[in-house]
Structure 1
């Protein structure tokens, strides 16, 4: 048995069949379900705590910016860490440290509401979250068989959607009752449960040996990030997906701000009404999570992903121009349906075409590149909306999505099964793995 096998207590590789009978995935899914709920609590609790500490909306924005910068910076090396370490152990460490930091916050906060403490906590937790999330995506391929990936990702996304609905509601009750710092401590407790559940999960052995070192500092730099970028560039479907998703993220991250401004400022509705609309939008995510596997299998990747872009164009345009709350809520749900369907489709494609030994670095590079456009887009969109009005920017955003769709139909993304496309350089590594040469990532895509 390999050294990696000795460290993890490897399970046998899962086979096709009923996903509910997969013990390791079920434990993993249940543990992450509670963790997702805790993370959704933090989405509301963290801004509330920032406002409590500073009384400034600008400082609230600074907390969000710190989290974004820390996540993007960590993304440049997170994939290297995940591909060179035991993935299960990495997730347990990230969970344990986050649990300790967040559970320690309430007593520290009681000693004084220091903004610097909040900033430092935000940066560290965001960095750990990035490493955990990369390991989380990479670990799924060691829990289920290839033909179960879409179903597994759909179930995980469905849990995320439910948590996104319940988390902010629970955070509001806890923050109002005992304070926002205790709401964050609850999030910390869910990380502790997640770490405990991972102790009972066994990941299957990787299909090919992972590399164990790099040749000097230049080799290390190449291994950390560039190898993931190169694999994305060499694979025609991933290259197109990364480019178009970068453009799409430029718009979608700021879409929530447009919704908030439209409902509260333009239509003069209160926060409770906005909360109901956000909750209803979560139903779209749940529907997409339930149906993504079937849709991907019946109509193919191209229809799912490019169709999602069209739905985003429609929903953004209508949300920003309609004065009917019912229509806005329906379109918000449509928007979340499209975002979730596109997300499940792209995640599954990346897992199918990427060799196990590169999956962490490819995921990290993929996320870092396309997420980097989000903060810039959010700033541009909100500034433009302030000057020209939400309806005009919403229509411009819809037209922008139509442009992305038009470009997409001339790329490999239009095909039903882009995972079958050949990669021009299937042996991309800084140091060749031990043993026989690695096979093309396409050879295992349908096993």
Structure 2
């Protein structure tokens, strides 16, 4: 770790991106406050759906670009795009139709889709292989912590920066966006200070469509993997998407802007705790543990319907976010072990695409359902769906162990082989 921290290029990269993630944590809180103030829940749902579309549709394109050009240059361009979106929100919110804000949100999603693959692939160019494990762990903890602090800072600015002005919430949200924009500027400067060389173009990049089909076939041959990816699609559209829209609405009405910032902060803290837990805990049945952990998200949805004190909701945020972090850690390791290295990029891209393919639909429909059935019914339904989907998949062979089980006809041979191999 000392050698890692002594690496000047890594430290510039790490600190610059930690500042950038601080801004990322401010964005959802500031966006919720600003759009809800001027356009209400329906407008907020549409803005989120546009962002999700902008992020999900070009995701594979972002990976191709990251493999063809300098990754720090790609990240810097993405940050310029997102900085422009932030400036657009500051200048245009409340003065322009919702369609314009929707376009801005989609552009912000595109910037994130451009940034993410390049960011994930950059460390392998900056550091030798033996330092990547420590670097990824350090980067992950710093990012989760910065995201949590960003959410809390945005909530504080929204609650205080506007003073006694009639549109104090909007004023505070603009200040939060201004700080967010400054973090992108810091990131751009640090990225330009450590330019990475362009990655050599490979045949794999030229055959994107053909190899994407191969990735789909590889997943289809493992039903337990396909089932969990499908589970993610369902849970996002009927659980996570409604929660994303409803939390800022309920939290700001129930606890105020600072309360919403507090919830965002402790959601990030919960993610850190989950990551630290899984570093030490090695479950014998990771699929069962992962589904128990995923089910912990249900109280976060349920408490949208129940007016609990802020500290109770904070506890739910901690447990739920920790559970999600544990699930994704176990799921990522399972995919890395199940698929060969030359397939993993396509498998992870497919996992992301299937998880979020219907997210825009869920985000856009939630405000409509909110008016039709009410927030309590929608929140209870989301909580029930999370629990049901989490445990229903455990009946699929391979899911409890997060691995492809041996064929029944070879179980005895496999056991005998393992016994002879271990003595």
TM-score normalized by structure 2? Answer: 0.73
Aligned mate of 2:229, from 239, 242, 249: 242
Query: What's the offset of the Cα at 1:75?
Result: 2.3
Higher helix fraction (1 or 2): 2
CA contact 1:134–1:363 (8 Å) conserved in 2: no
Distance in 1 between residues matched to 2:116 and 2:328, nearest whole Å: 14
Distance in 1 between residues matched to 2:304 and 2:295, nearest whole Å: 14
Aligned mate of 1:189, from 169, 182, 207: 182
- Does 2:287 match 1:290? no
Equivalence for 2:146: 159
Distance in 1 between residues matched to 2:263 and 2:86, nearest whole Å: 29
CA contact 2:242–2:382 (8 Å) conserved in 1: no
Tell me the C-alpha RMSD between the 2 structures. Answer: 4.3
Distance in 2 between residues matched to 1:103 and 1:262, nearest whole Å: 27
Count the aligned residue pairs.
393
Distance in 2 between residues matched to 1:45 and 1:29, nearest whole Å: 25
Deviates most, 136-145 or 25-34? 136-145
Equivalence for 1:375: 360
Query: What's the offset of the Cα at 1:193?
Result: 1.9
Aligned mate of 1:29, from 14, 25, 28: 14
The runs of 5 or more residues in structure 2 that have no matched partner are: 163-167, 407-423
CA contact 1:240–1:411 (8 Å) conserved in 2: no
Give the alignment of 1:238-317 within 5 angstroms. Answer: 238-250=225-237, 251-259=239-247, 270-295=256-281, 297=282, 301-302=286-287, 304-317=289-302
Residue by residue, what CA displacement relative to the aligned partner does 1:188-212 show, whole Å, maximum 9, x if unpaired?
3322322332345587999x98436
Distance in 1 between residues matched to 2:405 and 2:201, nearest whole Å: 24
Tell me the SS of whatever aligns to 2:203: coil
Equivalence for 1:89: 73
Query: What's the offset of the Cα at 1:72?
Result: 2.2
CA gap 1:260/1:190 in 2 versus in 1, 3 angstroms: closer
The runs of 5 or more residues in structure 1 that have no matched partner are: 1-15, 423-447
CA contact 1:322–1:328 (8 Å) conserved in 2: no
Distance in 2 between residues matched to 1:133 and 1:172, nearest whole Å: 31
Residue by residue, what CA displacement relative to the aligned partner does 1:28-59 show, whole Å, maximum 9, x if unpaired?
3322111111122322333455467x555544
CA contact 1:157–1:344 (8 Å) conserved in 2: no
Equivalence for 1:330: 315
Equivalence for 2:415: none
Tell me the SS of whatever aligns to 1:415: coil
CA gap 1:48/1:317 in 2 versus in 1, 3 angstroms: closer
CA contact 1:36–1:159 (8 Å) conserved in 2: yes
Aligned mate of 1:415, from 398, 401, 418: 401
Give the alignment of 1:35-434 within 5 angstroms. Answer: 35-50=20-35, 57-99=41-83, 102=86, 113-115=95-97, 118-140=101-123, 143=127, 145=130, 147-148=133-134, 149=136, 152-170=139-157, 173=160, 180-181=173-174, 183-199=176-192, 210-211=202-203, 214=206, 221-222=209-210, 226-234=213-221, 238-250=225-237, 251-259=239-247, 270-295=256-281, 297=282, 301-302=286-287, 304-317=289-302, 320-321=305-306, 323-347=308-332, 349-350=334-335, 361-378=346-363, 383-384=368-369, 386-409=371-394, 410-415=396-401, 418=403
CA gap 1:385/1:105 in 2 versus in 1, 3 angstroms: closer
CA contact 1:150–1:292 (8 Å) conserved in 2: no
